Amino acid sequence: MTAAVQAESRGGAACSRLLAASRLLVLILPQLLVVSATAADSAITLVALMFLMYSWLADDWSWMVRPAVWMRWALALWLWMLIISLFAYDIDHSYLMSLAWIRFVIFCAALEHLLLDQVWLRRLWCSAAMTAVFVALDGLWQYKFGADFFGYERHSADRLSGMFQRPKIGSYLMMMFMPVVVGMYIYFAPERSRHSRLIRIVIGVVIMVLMGTIFVSGERMPFLLALAGCLLLLVLSSGLRRRDVLIAGVCMLVSGSFFVNPVSLNRQLSTVTDIKQVAETAYAKAWSRAFDLGMDAPWLGQGVDAFRFACNDPAVGHADKITTCFKHPHHVYLEWFESTGIIGLIGFIGFAVAILRIFLRAHGSGQLSMMNYGPLASVLLVLWPIATAGSFYGSWRACLFWLMLGWGLAAVRGVQGRI
């Protein structure tokens, strides 16, 4: 008898309804992330609240009494965020953001411990795969004709937006790429099917569509991270045949040559120029300012989500560092240092290492070829120290990150038991 069944027997019909509603919200999250960041964040908050209600009705707090290592680090980070908010640049904003951040941790625990069994893992994969392919086709249509299926025009000459209000279609598809592609190999198992050639052709076409859209989207970091994910798959693949991975690589190259045009090619190749002149880029100037703000309060930081307010303030740090300001520093580790100081940064590194250990243990046990690889690989790519990233505190990218983390942890738990 599973933990969910045992809990429902104690909590009755109310638990069953909470479980069904929570699973439905998780199932449509890939679509909500496309429609509205507010809708996705609201769904995550509702799932977290319903999970707490479920735990109360079923009298099942095992996930909190014996928390996993990653959750211990996350809870420690949350407590530290609350403490440093008392000394923050904007106390009220920092405290509210810190208080609300716990919803992501509870949501992730809900996915790992209750909501995603093997049946619902597959359903979530189907939902994500269909959404990602549709989003990619919509982006390619916009690339070709200037407007997508719904009439939304492209963001600029070298940037696509698809159905999103801002140019983040590449980021969305990058996060979905590994779960979708690896899931197709696992669930359709071409090496064991009578239609193996047809299945491989379909998988190859999907790879071409996804990678082609990421390439022409004009988002350079998502494209580089997607390539890095494929390289990681080639190095670590055990359940997947390396021949299949190499075929996938060929499909990527074909998609790049098929969709290439001077504008998109120049946009991607400009990455090389930016690397050579990284100190002059807007991102580098924002990183410099984030480091400057962090050094102004090295132990406690400026407070959660303080960069958007403190960046332009000449009274904080060195005024000569104020050159380029965004809502966040576009670097996850600098954001934690600037917001929560050295102690908070150490806590976040501990959190990231805990996730890395789960990934490595899954690989070492020979279960990396299961569905756990794709979502966890996407998470690790975002945590790569040299990658530019969105805010970790309450943005659209945070919702996408925690969905992938909970998805991957649930898959690992389903295969190996608790880690």
Q: What is the pLDDT of residues 291-307, one digit of tens each?
A: 999 999 999 999 999 99
Full domain range(s) for residue 191? 122-276
Burial zone of 123 (CB within 10 Å; 0-12 exposed, 13-18 middle, 19+ buried):
middle
What is the C-alpha separation between 61 and 10, in angstroms, rounded? 13
Where is pLDDT greater, at 7 or 35? 35
CB burial readout 289-318, b (16+ within 10 A) else e: bbbbbbebbeebbbbbbbbebbbeeeebbe
- Name the token pair of 363: 């690989």
Domain-embedded: residue 260: yes
Q: Structural domain tally of the chain? A: 1
Q: In 3D, which of 129, 73, 162, 114 has the Cα closest to residue 375? A: 129
- 8 Å CB contact between 309 and 369: no
Domain-embedded: residue 62: no
What is the C-alpha separation between 270 and 272, in angstroms, rounded? 5
Domain-embedded: residue 101: no
What is the C-alpha separation between 247 and 266, in angstroms, rounded? 26
- Cα atoms found within 13 Å of the Cα of residue 19, Cβ hemisphere only: 23
pLDDT band at 419 (very low <50, low <70, confident <90, very high): very low
- Cα atoms found within 13 Å of the Cα of residue 337, Cβ hemisphere only: 19
Query: Among 149-158, 227-236, 353-362, whose mean pLDDT is lowest?
Result: 227-236
C-alpha to C-alpha distances, 199 to 125, 185, 188, 205, 375, nearest whole angstrom: 17, 9, 7, 10, 22
Chain segment 380-400, per-residue pLDDT in tens = 898 988 888 888 887 799 999
Domain-embedded: residue 126: yes
Chain segment 263-296, per-residue pLDDT in tens = 555 555 555 455 556 667 788 889 999 999 999 9
Domain-embedded: residue 105: no
Domain-embedded: residue 68: no
Domain-embedded: residue 3: no
Domain-embedded: residue 335: no
- The alpha carbons of the chain give a radius of gyration, in whole angstroms, of 22
pLDDT band at 413 (very low <50, low <70, confident <90, very high): confident
Please tell me the predicted confidence (pLDDT) of residue 411.
Answer: 86
